[in-house]
Structure 1
Amino acid sequence: MEGKKTVRAAERALDILLCFIQKPELSLTEIARLTQLNKSTVYRLLATLEEKGFLSRDPDTEKYRLGFRIWELSAHLSRSDDPAVLFLPGMERLRDQIEETVSLYVRDGAERVRVQAVESLQAIRRVAPVGARMPLAVGAAGKVLVAFAAPSIRDGILSDPQWPENVDPGQYTEQLREIRKQGYATSVEEREAGTSAVAVPIFGQKGEVVAALAVSGPVGRLTEERMKEVVPHVLEAAERMKKMLN
């Protein structure tokens, strides 16, 4: 019984830390609402996390933010196989070539997560927050991650009960076939109004898709014609990144 209590407490503490994906600063009330825990439980967990350095509290606002221990842990991530670190120089090089925002996505279950981004230097640009979670059903990067996944994974995603009702699986499957045929995907205002994107897969040494490399920008600048022009550059960057993997 004691073991179960310990696991539950750990789950709750991790749920609290995950709340900070949504906002950099949160109050006790906000955390209680997000985790659906009562305030007394949240208060005790916050006190422990603060004592251990995983959270810090602003004495003026009484709000919490991630503490120095989080950054210490992140500093010890493996640099040899972390795509967010490994591919960053190549992403910066691609951004300088095409002058648009470049993002890196990985699949996590039925979602995609932006693990790295290099924003355009232009005045009007696509702002891409790292850590954002998005659906796989819409957007160029999402479709690339599904199109080039193993058939069993692809079938599982398409048969998921949480699949959006407004996305027809048949039409989506046909799009995936075309994406696999041409080697890349594009989207125009599918997920976000005013934004278009083009994405390509980054393959591992065994042929598995490890990430999606995407370029996004305003629809007035990243037109369908312009996307066709940048595709060779994005494919070339993805091939260079593949060669960097062990």
Structure 2
Amino acid sequence: MEDRKLTVRAVERALDILMCFTRGSDLALTEIAGEIGLHKSTVHRLLTTLEEKGFVTRDQATEKYRLGLKIWELSAHLSQNDDPATLLLPQMERLRDRLGETVSLYLRNGTDRLRIQAVQSNQAIRRVAPIGARLPLYVGASSKVLVAYADDSVIQSLLEGPDWPTAIDKTAYVAQLQEIRRIGYATSYEEREPGAAAVSAPIFGRSGKIAAALSVSGPVSRLSPLTLQEFGPILIDAAKDMGMMINS
């Protein structure tokens, strides 16, 4: 039994290492060790195994690690029926072409939102949305959509969690969620990032539960509060069409 526990612990630690790359693409051994709270020698042994299996690769010049080709090989075999990032990409591209701004797709993951797909605006000044970015659920149009349509237990857990920012009034936040459910979309104007604005709508799967949040974002110089309101109904319609393609 003890050997089994050690084996499982090694797997968990290896997965923790891989998850470090959701926050950076080129990481040094010391950075990874500090991130997951393990001694450098332990992390080095795990990285060596991951490197041998092709899940990470090491730059000989900088001694930094990045994800290996095995990760991309695995992702290539994701079923389109189960992967909204792949399934909805053509619709996201059409929405980008129509509105001229960056389009993103988010899922809720614990107390974060995870950007699983993005189509960048073709304009010279644009908001770059890196895929794989993990952002807090407390602020931002997509965050509010993912929370507004979540189960009551999720909302309550978020409000009562130890990470809730003291600067955000809970009563006002709950009122925002109610307004989002009433009009069907959320907006944010320099909430999380100065100079950026966004509008987001929920994508519901065939089960009726929220499957993802569809977002359009860009600089405030182009996305005024009035423009965000004009985009809202367009996003609702696009999200409805996308929802028909999702089985969950």
Q: Same fold (TM over 0.5)?
A: yes
Q: Match for residue 190 of structure 1? A: 191
Alignment of 1:15-164 (within 5 A): 15-164=16-165
- Structure 1 unpaired stretches of 5+: none
CA contact (8 A) 2:23 2:134 kept: no
Q: Residue 156 of structure 1: CA displacement?
A: 2.3
* TM-score, with structure 1 as normaliser: 0.96
Offset at residue 187 of structure 1 (A): 0.7
Q: Aligned pair count?
A: 246
Deviation at 1:159, TM superposition (A): 2.1
1:220 CA drift (Å): 1.1
Q: Hey, what's the Cα distance between the residues in 1 that align with 2:4 and 2:87?
A: 39
Please identify, of 30-39 and 236-245, the stretch whose mean Cα deviation from structure 2 is larger.
Answer: 30-39
Report SS of the residue matched to 2:223. coil
Cα offset, 1:74, TM superposition:
0.8
Letter in 2 for 1:199: S
How far the C-alpha of 1:10 sits from its partner, in A, is 1.0
Q: Taking structure 2 as the reference length, what is the TM-score of the superposition?
A: 0.95
Letter in 2 for 1:34: E
Residue matched to 2:167: 166
Q: CA contact under 8 A between 2:22 and 2:134: conserved in structure 1?
A: no
Instruction: Supply the distance in 2 between the matched residues of 1:43 and 1:49 (Cα, whole angstroms).
Output: 10
For residue 221 of structure 1, what is the amino acid of its counterpart? R
Provide the identity percentage: 60
The amino acid across from 1:166 in the alignment is A
CA displacement at 1:211 relative to structure 2:
0.6
Distance in 2 between residues matched to 1:42 and 1:150, nearest whole Å: 38
Superposed displacement of residue 215, structure 1: 0.6
Tell me if the contact between 2:200 and 2:213 (Cα under 8 Å) persists in the aligned partners: yes
Measured against aligned partners, the alpha-carbon deviations of 1:192-213 in whole angstroms (never above 9, x if no partner) come to 0000111000011121111110
Distance 1:20 1:149 in 2: 27
